[in-house]
Structure 1
């Protein structure tokens, strides 16, 4: 995932925080390793909270779990939107990949009002936690509240997608999505198997695959179209 950001957005401003238990690499200008609990699905929420330990609630961060990776990014648009949301006191989150429910069921996922930005882009406000797992800009307080509200017992990572529906989104946690799509993301795995698109991406990058991932699924799973 990180290599894809380096390739698609060489001058990106991010410092990726990577949770680890025992194995880690060296820190760099763009990577910081953070010791965190791990091993079970129930450790996911505490791990995310550990990554946020020293982050102010109002800081806008880039939320990018590694089960997804970028395939295409309209970086000039994304960079401009990033500057805009960092200066806005009303926006607590912005997703720039409009896909799935936010595209196919706007009546369910979005409020009808359109919010124009100074540069002419249109933002739509999301009603709940729809598409919270896709890479996006979020204020730290949103992630902190979201993962603090997860139950202590989580049977699997996939179960969190259902459990999130029991978490009430606070009124001041206003999450938006761009009306126009500016990114394409790929799913890394599905049902415990690596997707074909992720397998091809890793092979093309020259990364050696662990033995257990050398028989990928035939399915290609992507989000967004440009």
Structure 2
């Protein structure tokens, strides 16, 4: 018996390359998901174009009728209002650059009864926050990568689900390292979602952190 697709909503702020990977895998049936909505806090985000091209519902929560950017609490209330009728199984933050508060995080958990995961460009718990590639190079780390974790009210501190690791090369720059980590992200996020869809990762009772090596 074929399982129903995992219903996913994706929150984005930028170009949406990771969203595009999920769209492609949905379209070629290599990932048993249905992206039921894409929400952006930036009306100029190219990720919205990617979603529209795939006939996925998009929602922009950027500025109010007076042209002022929504304050965080109002954004979160509106986003929850958008999500409720979508009946999502999973909320994914992929290049979403807005820090969320307990209002939204608890709303997703308690009102939608859905887990929420974030893709972060470092090997957490190291290098939370921004500018991870520059900081890794400045610190002389041997390894770098990306992580998928459950979202909590503490920034980039939720339970780890999976990581992809690469060796830092002597000639790496922040730009080359970013490009290499992007390639890892495109592998890690769909694989992690696939593990969630098939019960390999139980978000209610997380066991081992799954780690993969890249180039």
Same fold (TM over 0.5): no
TM bin, normalised by shorter chain, reads 0.3 to 0.5
TM-score for both structures, normalised by structure 1: 0.31
Higher relative helix content: 2
